[in-house]
Structures are given as C-alpha cells and as structure tokens.
Amino acid sequence: MNSSVQRPPLVRGGERMIAGVCSGLAAHLGWPVRYIRAGMVLAAFAGGAGVAFYGWLWLLVPTADEKTAKGAPRPASVIAPAVSGPSSGAGNGHGDDADRPGAAVPGAVRAFRAPFGKEILLGAGLLLLAATLIARQLGADVPLGTLIAVAAILGGAAIAWMQLDESRRDSLVDRARVRQAGGWGRLLAGLALVMAGVLVMVSGSGSWQQTWLALLASVAVLGGVALVLLPWGLKFWKDLEAERAARVRETERAEIAAHLHDSVLQTLALIQRRASAEQDVIRLARSQERELRTWLFGDHSRDAGRLADRIRAVAAEVEDNHGTPLDVVCVGDTDMTGRHEALVQAAREAMLNAARHGGGPVSVYLECSGGAAEVFVKDRGPGFDLDAVPDDRLGVKESIIGRMKRHGGTAAIMTGPGGTEVRLRLPAEDSAEPGDGDESKEETR
Amino acid sequence: MTENMSAPVRVVIVDDHAIFRSGLKTDLQDGIDVVGEAGTVDEAVEVVTREMPDVVLLDVHLPGGLGGGGREVINRCAALLGQVRFLALSVSDAASDVVSVIRAGARGYVTKSISGEEISSAVHRVAGGDAVFSPRLAGFVLDAFGTAVEDIADDELDKLSSRELEVMRLIARGYSYKEVAKELFISIKTVETHVSAVLRKLQLSNRYELSRWAAERRLL
C-alpha cells in the first residue's frame, strides 16, 4: 500500500488491445506491457484464471478519462448554459463532450486503437471456429451444441458489456440521444444473444420449437418484470437528474465563491497592507473593478477576440502599467484581421502616449461601421508640438502614423492646450480606395 | 452654462451607501444645497415628495419598494417630473440599467467615478433643464440608433439627425460640451439643445432597432 503512493495510479491505459487492462497494469507496476500480456495469456490457460482476472480488472479499474472526469471540477464555460437551461443542456448531446476536457484527444486515440482490438478478437474467434471444424472433420467428438451456446453467451455479454465501458457508460446516463440509440441496440442484441445461448444450453440443444417457446416465455417474464420495476426505475432516474442539477448549482456557487475569494478578498487584504501607497491602491482597485465588471456584466456567450475586446484588453494593459484610468466606449464590433491588429497596435501606442504625457482620464472610443473601423484616443494633457517631435522618435511617427499608412488607413493627431486626440481610421478592405481619399483630407486638415 | 447664481440648486441624494452619500455631499461645490438624503426606494419617494428638490441624484440600484430600484422611484414620482429632475448615478455598465432609468424619465446618466467638479456642473446643467450624457451613454445611444445618417425612418423620433450624430460621437470620444461646441463651430447652447433632443428621442422612440436592441439586452 505504501509503495503504491509513488506509482502512477492504476487506470486502464489508452493504448489497448481489448480494454487497456494490461497496459494500465504495466504502467502501474512499471513492467513492460509485453510481459504482462504474455502472463495474462498464460494465466488464461490455467483454468481461465487470466480471463477472470482480466474481466475483474476491466470492471473495477476506471479508464484514465473517467478518473480525471471524476476528479476535476467542471470547467466554467459550461456552467452558464447548464444553469440557464438544464433540461435542454442535458438533453442535447453536444454538451456532453465539453464536460470532459480531455475527451477529444483520448477519443481519437481510442478510435485508432479500437479497430485492431476488434479485428484481433474477430480473427481469434474465426481461428477457434476453424479449429473446431477441423477437429470435427478429423473425427474428434466436439459438443457443437454446447459450444455454440457458450459462444452466443460470451458474444452477447461482450457486446452488452463493451458499451458499458468507459465513456459510453456516461453517455447512457447523460441521455445523449445519438449514441444512446446505438447503445440500446447493442444492449438488446447482447441480451437476445445471451438469452438464446442460455436457453439452448438449458434445453440441452433440443428442438428449435421448444427453444422458441422458451424464448417467448422468458421475454414475457422479462416484460412483466420491466413493467413492475418501471416506476421505481423512473423515480430513481428523476432523483439522479435532480442530484445532477443540484451538483451543477453547487459547482457554480463554488465557482463564484472562488472568484470572489481570488479577486475581491485578495484585493481588500492588499489594500489594508499597502494603504499608504495611494497610487498602488488606486491601480489595484481599478484593475479589480474592471475584472469584476467583465465577470459580472460581460457577455460570456459572445466569442472573444473581436476588435472591441482587443481594444479593451489593450486599454486594460496600459491602465495597469501606468495607473491612468482609460475609459473605453465601443460602438459596433468586427472580426479581427491582420489589418485590425495593426489598428490595435497603433491605438495601443496612442494610449501609451496619452497615459504617459496626458495626465487625467483618457477617453478611448471605438466605432465600427460598415465602411471603417475608427479609434479615437483623447487625453487632457498640455499637448505637444507635432513638428517639434524629432524624426528619430519612433513612438508617434512610426508606430502610429506609419503603421496606419502601411495598412491602408489614416492617422491624424490633433493637439492643443486642451489636450491631444489621436484619430485612427481603417477603411474596410473592399471600400478601401474610394472612401479613403476624402476622409483623410478632412481628418488631416 | 446655465448656472443660476441667485439661488442655490436644491438637491436630494438617493443612494443606499451612506459612505457614498457623504462623500458626494462633500464633493458637490458651492451653489448646490443638499436638502435631503434617502437610502431606499420608499424613503426616496417620501423625501422627494416632501422636499420638492430641483435635482435628485439617483442611484440606479436601490433596495426596497418592489425591487425596481431607481426606475421605480422615477415612476412613482412621475407626477413631479415637471418640477423635479432626476440625474442617474450608477456603477453599473449594464446598458439595461442605464437605458431603463433614462426611458423612465431621468435627464441624464453619469458614472459614480465622476469628479466633484464634473458632477457639480452636471447638476447645474440638469437643473437648467438640459440633459447630461456621459461618454458611455452616448455610446449606448449610437449603438441603439446606429452610426449612419439615414432618411428612411418615417418617424422623426426614430432617427438622429446628422448634427445630433456628430454631437453624440464627440461626447462618446470624451469631449466636454464646450469642446464639442468648439469642434463643430456652434454655441454651447446649441450643443445642449441637440443633446436634449437626443434624450427625448431615446425616451420616446419606438424605433425598431431600439426595441430590438433593448430586447437583446432583456430590457423589455
């Protein structure tokens, strides 16, 4: 028990012949997987001990996915939809994959490995069948009736159990309808095979008619049992659903608590300790305010990384580094392109200048209309003489004006005693030429 | 500005945080007389009806009443809207909060981080019957009405004139009214007229985009 602390946990591996038991065992014990497999096969001949051991481990040892899915908290992104529409979220299948962050990659591995396992099994089965037939041909007394029944039972059990393996078990519980249909089909097929096998065996491979009658009777019995147990099953199912919903809520509450702890409580603690450093406290309060605001009022469903988000992020960065508040107002939004990235960088340079030299609050305004994306950065500093800026100062001339020109946009800097405003304009790709001319004239007047 | 030096502007401050109320009180400059304070919706209605102030500085989020916050206060004081003017104060960036108090009848909206000097001039402006737009509110307006001049709207209320658009864009860019006037070569009084016209449209318009925009943000 003590030594197992240093070992990797016993989970079924992704590299698998049948169910990944041997590779998992090998990883856990630190032995080559070949030896484990050979030992397992050898043990299988010792009265089937290997098979029993293998089956036992298959049932009880979780896969690596299941292990992580159980241990890890749910990612934040799925909480909002799960809470706003629990019934729809649980009902449609695609929320299911998002629940388990690692699902996609091991799934791909599995899809690659699984066919080999199946082919080997199929091949082994066919070889066994051929051997049996040859043995019969050679005159050996093979009880074919019993063999067929046993094969049916084993095959049925395998089909039924296969689908309860790993993620398919989850999907069955999650009511993922697409895969569920296949799952039920398999379950029924497995059940039918096992029942038929058992019946053939019990009735001593008797007449077909007798078997048929027995099959009918057992189906009737099973149906009766199902009818009786259905209410219990439904109740159990509902309890399970309720518990799942409660767990989602609890996770969300924990998420909020964690966030409040991380941001608000930490900030309050820091403010108490550094109350004397006024500038630090202001900066801290400002950045935490912004973060909390984004968290509370931000639109989480919208895909991030559009122009307005980038401008806000850049403004936040400048604000953090210089302690000057930047008020950002965005009207409209657009997808980012390489040219928009240039606009963002030019705007960043303008904000840096405003924060460094302007003093007082800086206003940043982004407007995206059909024709163009425009950014205005205004400060209330003393202003400066643009012509007096030496040519070797890259800040304004190169980073703002030059960059905008290279990407087909315009930049104008209006400065005076009341403050400085940098105006950046980037025409949309298709309307770049015609709209550009008059506008730049007006802007640089 | 429309500062009336003869009589101080009588103001009621409505906010549920006493520390914010007292801070605001010291921030307000000469010529402004704080005649009452309130911390809940019901208190606010009572104090406003009793004092009949010129301007009510009204927090958007308030406890009490039916849970409607600042909007509920305005709705319950609707009969006084001719004499009492409301200026909404908020820490919230949510468009729903801002636009709902404006549409209820507030004459303007400013954020709580505004400086004492700015809030004082905003109070005087509202007392003089004008509207106060922060850059963010101007941004909301531009978002709702669109940034292009259009001729197709049937109702005059449903579109902004090109001049109003220009004024809104400059305010969104952080220009003060004085700077807007200078930039557009018009008087401050004209700027105020334009802003008031926009406020009226924002309050009364049934513009499709405005209702759709509001619905998207769950305002309706």
Residue-wise pLDDT for A19-30, tens only, equals: 778 888 888 888
Distance CA A423, CA A443 (A): 8
Q: Contacts of residue B169 in chain A, CB cutoff 8 Å?
A: 365, 367
Residues 391-420 of A with CB under 8 A from B: 418
For residue A79, with 0-12 CB atoms within 10 Å meaning exposed, 13-18 middle and 19 or more buried, which class applies? middle
CB-based contact A332 B143, cutoff 8 Å: yes
- ∠ Cα A347 A349 A351 (to 5°): 70
A296: nearest CA partner in chain B: B94
What does DSSP assign to residue A274? T
Across the interface, which of B94, B113, B174 has its CB nearest the CB of A365? B174
Shortest Cα–Cα distance, B179 to chain A (Å)? 9
Across the interface, which of B94, B142, B175 has its CB nearest the CB of A331? B142
Q: What separation in angstroms does the CA of A151 have from each of A40, A43, A196?
A: 21, 21, 11
Q: Is B169 in the A-facing interface, judged by CB distances under 8 Å?
A: yes
DSSP class per residue in B133-197:
E-HHHHHHHHHHH-SS--S--SSGGGS--HHHHHHHHHHHTT--HHHHHHHHT--HHHHHHHHHH
Q: Which residue has the higher pLDDT, A400 or A65?
A: A400
Q: Which residue has the higher pLDDT, B124 or A384?
A: B124
Across the interface, which of A329, A418, A421 has its CB nearest the CB of B139? A329
According to DSSP, the residues that pair with A377 across neighbouring strands are A364, A422
Confidence category of residue A376, pLDDT binned at 50, 70, 90: very high
The answer to whether residues A67 and A151 touch, using CB atoms and an 8 Å cutoff, is no
B95: nearest CA partner in chain A: A297
B179: nearest CA partner in chain A: A418
The answer to whether residues B130 and B2 touch, using CB atoms and an 8 Å cutoff, is yes
Nearest of A109, A77, A106, A118 to residue A94 by alpha carbon: A77
Shortest Cα–Cα distance, B112 to chain A (Å)? 13
Set out the domains of chain A in order of their start, with CATH numbers. 303-443 (3.30.565.10)
Residues 224-263 of A with CB under 8 A from B: none
CB-based contact A331 B92, cutoff 8 Å: no
Set out the domains of chain B in order of their start, with CATH numbers. 1-130 (3.40.50.2300), 131-220 (1.10.10.10)
Q: Give the pLDDT of residue B104.
A: 84
Q: Is A297 in the B-facing interface, judged by CB distances under 8 Å?
A: yes
Q: Which residue has the higher pLDDT, A53 or A438?
A: A53
What does DSSP assign to residue B2? -
B79-107 burial, b for 16+ CB within 10 Å, e for fewer?
A: ebeeebbbbbbbebbbbebbbbbbbbbbb
Q: Give the pLDDT of residue B140.
A: 83
Q: Contacts of residue A315 in chain B, CB cutoff 8 Å?
A: none
Q: Give the pLDDT of residue B157.
A: 66
Residues 54-93 of B with CB under 8 A from A: 92-93
Q: Answer yes or no: is pLDDT of A99 > 50.
A: no
Question: For A321-369, what is each residue's pLDDT tens digit?
Answer: 887 888 888 888 888 888 888 888 889 888 888 888 776 788 899 988 8
Q: Answer yes or no: is pLDDT of A148 > 50.
A: yes
CB-based contact B135 A418, cutoff 8 Å: no
**CB atoms closer than 10 angstroms to residue A339:** 19
Question: Which token pair is A93?
Answer: 């299948």
Q: Answer yes or no: is pLDDT of A370 > 80.
A: no
Q: Contacts of residue B135 in chain A, CB cutoff 8 Å?
A: 327, 329, 363, 365
Question: For A209-254, what is each residue's pLDDT tens digit?
Answer: 777 787 788 888 888 888 888 888 888 888 899 899 988 888 888 8
Distance CA A69, CA A254 (A): 17
Confidence category of residue A442, pLDDT binned at 50, 70, 90: very low
Shortest Cα–Cα distance, B143 to chain A (Å)? 5
What does DSSP assign to residue A63? B
Distance CA A404, CA B61 (A): 43
The answer to whether residues A66 and A228 touch, using CB atoms and an 8 Å cutoff, is no
Q: Contacts of residue A421 in chain B, CB cutoff 8 Å?
A: 173
Residues 91-120 of B with CB under 8 A from A: 92-94, 113
Shortest Cα–Cα distance, B167 to chain A (Å)? 14
Confidence category of residue A439, pLDDT binned at 50, 70, 90: very low
Confidence category of residue B219, pLDDT binned at 50, 70, 90: very low
Q: Which amino acid is it at A235?
A: K
Question: For B38-53, what is each residue's pLDDT tens digit?
Answer: 888 888 888 888 888 9
Shortest Cα–Cα distance, B47 to chain A (Å)? 32
Question: For B54-81, what is each residue's pLDDT tens digit?
Answer: 999 988 888 877 777 888 888 888 888 7
Q: Is B209 in the A-facing interface, judged by CB distances under 8 Å?
A: no
Q: Contacts of residue B172 in chain A, CB cutoff 8 Å?
A: 329, 331, 365, 367
Q: What is the mean pLDDT of chain B?
A: 81
Which whole number is the average pLDDT over A379-400? Answer: 68
Shortest Cα–Cα distance, B51 to chain A (Å)? 35
Q: Report chain A's C-alpha Rg in angstroms.
A: 34
Q: Give the pLDDT of residue A187.
A: 73
- ∠ Cα A5 A6 A8 (to 5°): 90
Shortest Cα–Cα distance, A87 to chain B (Å)? 22
Q: Answer yes or no: is pLDDT of A169 > 70.
A: no
Q: Answer yes or no: is pLDDT of A102 > 50.
A: no
Which of A80-94, A303-317, B156-170, B188-202 has the largest mean confidence? B188-202
Site from B173, B177, B217, B219 to mutate, A interface, most A CB atoms within 10 angstroms: B173
Instruction: Output helix, strand, coil percentages for chain B, rounded to the nearest 5.
Output: 50, 15, 35
Chains A & B: contacts with CB separation below 8 Å: 47
B138: nearest CA partner in chain A: A329
Q: Contacts of residue A331 in chain B, CB cutoff 8 Å?
A: 139, 142-143, 147, 172
Q: Contacts of residue A362 in chain B, CB cutoff 8 Å?
A: 174
Percent with pLDDT over 90 in chain A: 1
Site from A301, A331, A334, A364 to mutate, B interface, most B CB atoms within 10 angstroms: A331
Q: Answer yes or no: is pLDDT of A116 > 80.
A: no
Lowest mean pLDDT among A7-21, A117-131, A415-429, B69-83: A7-21
Q: Give the pLDDT of residue A303.
A: 52
Across the interface, which of A293, A329, A418 has its CB nearest the CB of B135? A329
Which whole number is the average pLDDT over A376-381? Answer: 86
CB-based contact A329 B136, cutoff 8 Å: yes
CB-based contact B173 A331, cutoff 8 Å: no
Q: What is the mean pLDDT of chain A?
A: 71
Q: Give the pLDDT of residue A321.
A: 81
The answer to whether residues B211 and B201 touch, using CB atoms and an 8 Å cutoff, is no
Distance CA A268, CA A307 (A): 33
B94: nearest CA partner in chain A: A297
DSSP class per residue in A191-260:
HHHHHHHHHHHHTTS--HHHHHHHHHHHHHHHHHHHHHHHHHHHHHHHHHHHHHHHHHHHHHHHHHHHHH
Across the interface, which of A293, A363, A370 has its CB nearest the CB of B93? A293
Q: Give the pLDDT of residue A156.
A: 75
Q: Contacts of residue A376 in chain B, CB cutoff 8 Å?
A: 173-174
| Residue that has been written with the tokens 């009492």 in this structure | B84
Q: Contacts of residue B138 in chain A, CB cutoff 8 Å?
A: 329
Q: Answer yes or no: is pLDDT of A415 > 70.
A: yes
